[in-house]
């Protein structure tokens, strides 16, 4: 529960709402999982909490460490299924990449999670628990020396297809009584679910990344099939609405996977520059990360550099994402977890409104 709901919950059992703030601090700021140790709470309330609730991290299935320091945890989520959480250390920050669903239904052509299909949504606890688990595993102090400085919803799943669980999770990550991350340090990444980009804009102030991958409908329909439902022009309109309501420094990051001979030509770079012209945009080029049985290949480094330079010549900030953790299959698009009994979902079944 986010703080607002937890406060209401405490009020409904006849407790003061500020108890919610205290409990959240114990759990998220101090990493305490034992109600007995929450010493500013009365013995009586501690006992009531102990009898009705648990603070429990997910169980670890496997753990791997890349030669570049990237860490990957495969966490059990019941029924033999598992999700993946990845920590990417850098000089000036530490980014945790979390999952929002067991699998994914978006079916993007170049993503290995897509091959898994979707089993189910994670709930808010399972989403937030990944951060709690990683913070503990990394051995950092929850309050002072922050090992995790940024959280990105770029693991398994489409976060905006699980909006009702993701929204409270974003709030808990940003809450001063929760993980206390600033709005710029929590990024929701989406393949382009337009109605939910609008909902997100209204409900919370957070950084947004959009997986664009192509500047026109013909190509994007093939690479990111949700485009058939929400075409590029509609997506860009939603992005304009999103940034218009934010402070002027808030860019949207457009992710663009670089696929050799598919979407990496200079002509497409020029089209992309035209599409983003005048928008608060940064482009993040992601060299394609291969996985078994994919028909795609990574663009040549010169092609990526040329593509970036065309964007830069049009005054668009373009960066190339450094490939991290690919030796342990922890790089973008390589997360598969363990997805069983996937639902046969077609794009038509994706809900247009959150419940
Ligand atoms: N579903 C959300 C969250 C996933 S974010 C979204 O689409 O934004 C993961 C990012 O990695 C997305 O931009 C995705 O398109 C990209 N990606 C997927 N497969 C990839 C691959 N094989 N190589 C590089 N990037 C990939």
Over residues 284-301, the pLDDT tens digits come to: 999 999 998 899 999 999
Alpha carbon of 284 to ligand 1 centroid (Å): 11
Residue 236 has pLDDT above 50, yes or no: yes
Q: How many whole angstroms separate alpha carbon 119 and alpha carbon 345? A: 10
Decide whether any atom of ligand 1 lies within 6 Å of the 100 Cβ: no
- How high is the pLDDT of residue 141? 64
Locate all alpha helices (DSSP H) within 95-224, ordered by sequence: 112-116, 124-137, 163-174, 194-203, 217-223
DSSP 221-282: HHHSGGGGTS-HHHHHHHHHHHHHTS-TT-PEEEEEEEBTTTT--HHHHHHHHHHHTTS-EE
Q: Of 178 and 352, which is predicted with more confidence?
A: 178
Q: What is the pLDDT of residues 154-186, one digit of tens each?
A: 999 999 999 999 999 999 999 999 999 999 999
Residue 211 burial (10 A CB sphere; 0-12, 13-18, 19+): buried
Reported pTM: 0.94
- How high is the pLDDT of residue 191? 98
pLDDT tier for residue 348 given thresholds of 50, 70 and 90: very low
Residue 59 contacts by C-beta under 8 Å, 6 or more apart in sequence?
A: 75, 76
Residue with tokens 């373009």: 318
Beta bridge partners of 256: 285
| Residue minimizing CA distance to atom 17 of ligand 1 | 333
Q: What atom in ligand 1 is closest to the CA of residue 100? A: 3
Decide whether any atom of ligand 1 lies within 6 Å of the 114 Cβ: no
Alpha carbon of 130 to ligand 1 centroid (Å): 19
Q: Of 341 and 51, which is predicted with more confidence?
A: 51
Q: How many whole angstroms separate alpha carbon 70 and alpha carbon 65? A: 6
Q: What atom in ligand 1 is closest to the CA of residue 210? A: 8
Q: Do 287 and 321 meet the contact criterion of CB atoms below 8 Å apart?
A: yes
Find the helix or strand (DSSP H, E) in which 43 lies: helix 43-52
Q: Which of 63-77, 310-324, 327-341 has the lowest mean pLDDT?
A: 327-341
Q: What atom in ligand 1 is closest to the CA of residue 153? A: 3
Out of 99, 230, 257, 298, mutate this one to test ligand 1's pocket (max ligand atoms within 8 Å of CB): namely: 257
Residue 18 has pLDDT above 60, yes or no: yes
Q: How many whole angstroms separate alpha carbon 240 and alpha carbon 279? A: 7
Question: How many of the other CB atoms lie within 10 Å of CB of 47?
Answer: 13
Average pLDDT on 108-116 reads 93
Average pLDDT on 51-79 reads 94
- How high is the pLDDT of residue 149? 94
Decide whether any atom of ligand 1 lies within 6 Å of the 214 Cβ: no
- How high is the pLDDT of residue 57? 86
Find the helix or strand (DSSP H, E) in which 208 lies: strand 207-211
The torsion defined by the Cα of 188, 249, 194 and 115, in degrees rounded to 10, comes to -40
Average pLDDT on 55-73 reads 94
**216's tokens:** 């026109």
Decide whether any atom of ligand 1 lies within 6 Å of the 21 Cβ: no
- How high is the pLDDT of residue 344? 57
| pLDDT winner (highest mean) among 135-139, 155-159, 328-332 | 155-159
- How high is the pLDDT of residue 313? 98
Residue 1 contacts by C-beta under 8 Å, 6 or more apart in sequence?
A: 9, 124, 168
Catalytic residue annotation: 84, 332
Residue 19 contacts by C-beta under 8 Å, 6 or more apart in sequence?
A: 10, 41, 45
Decide whether any atom of ligand 1 lies within 6 Å of the 108 Cβ: yes
Mean pLDDT for the chain overall: 92
| pLDDT winner (highest mean) among 50-54, 133-137, 298-302 | 298-302
Decide whether any atom of ligand 1 lies within 6 Å of the 211 Cβ: yes
Residue 87 Cα distances to 238, 271, 297, angstroms: 30, 34, 25
- How high is the pLDDT of residue 145? 65
- How high is the pLDDT of residue 345? 54
> For residue 41, which phi and psi values (nearest 5 degrees)?
-105, 140
Q: What atom in ligand 1 is closest to the CA of residue 158? A: 1
pLDDT tier for residue 262 given thresholds of 50, 70 and 90: very high
Decide whether any atom of ligand 1 lies within 6 Å of the 189 Cβ: yes
Residue 327 contacts by C-beta under 8 Å, 6 or more apart in sequence?
A: 66, 67, 68
CA atoms lying within 13 Å on the CB side of residue 327: 8
Length of the chain, in residues: 355
Out of 223, 255, 292, mutate this one to test ligand 1's pocket (max ligand atoms within 8 Å of CB): namely: 255
| Residue minimizing CA distance to atom 18 of ligand 1 | 333
**146's tokens:** 């922050």
Residue 34 has pLDDT above 80, yes or no: yes
């Amino acid at each position: 529960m986010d703080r607002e709901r937890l406060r209401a919950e405490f009020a409904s059992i006849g407790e003061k709402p500020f108890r919610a703030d205290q409990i959240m601090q114990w759990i998220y700021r101090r990493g305490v999982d034992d109600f007995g140790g929450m010493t500013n709470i009365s013995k009586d309330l501690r006992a009531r909490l102990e009898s009705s609730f648990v603070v429990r991290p997910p169980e670890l299935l496997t753990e791997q460490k890349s030669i570049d320091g990237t860490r990957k945890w495969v966490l059990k989520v019941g029924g033999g299924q598992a999700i993946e959480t990845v920590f990417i250390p850098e000089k000036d920050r530490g980014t945790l990449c979390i999952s929002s669903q067991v699998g994914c239904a978006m079916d993007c052509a170049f993503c290995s999670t897509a091959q898994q299909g979707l089993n189910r949504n994670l709930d808010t606890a399972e989403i937030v628990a990944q951060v709690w688990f990683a913070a503990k595993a990394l051995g950092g102090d929850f309050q002072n020396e922050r090992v995790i400085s940024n959280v990105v919803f770029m693991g398994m799943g489409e976060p905006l297809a699980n909006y009702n669980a993701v929204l409270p999770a974003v709030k808990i990550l940003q809450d001063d009584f929760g993980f206390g991350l600033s709005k710029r340090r929590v990024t929701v990444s989406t393949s382009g679910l337009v109605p939910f980009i609008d909902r997100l804009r209204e409900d919370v102030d957070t950084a947004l990344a959009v997986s664009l991958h192509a500047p026109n409908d013909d190509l994007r329909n093939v690479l990111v099939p949700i485009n058939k439902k929400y075409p590029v022009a509609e997506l860009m309109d939603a992005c304009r609405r999103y940034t218009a309501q934010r402070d002027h420094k808030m860019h949207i990051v457009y992710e663009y996977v670089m696929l050799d001979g598919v979407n990496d030509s200079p002509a497409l770079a020029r089209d992309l520059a035209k599409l983003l012209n005048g928008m608060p945009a940064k482009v993040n080029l992601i060299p394609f990360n291969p996985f078994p049985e994919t028909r795609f290949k990574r663009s040549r480094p010169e092609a990526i550099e040329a593509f970036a330079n065309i964007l830069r010549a049009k005054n668009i900030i373009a960066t190339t994402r450094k490939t991290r953790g690919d030796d342990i299959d922890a790089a973008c698009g390589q997360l598969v977890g363990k997805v069983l009994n996937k639902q046969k979902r077609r794009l038509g079944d994706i809900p247009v409104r959150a419940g």
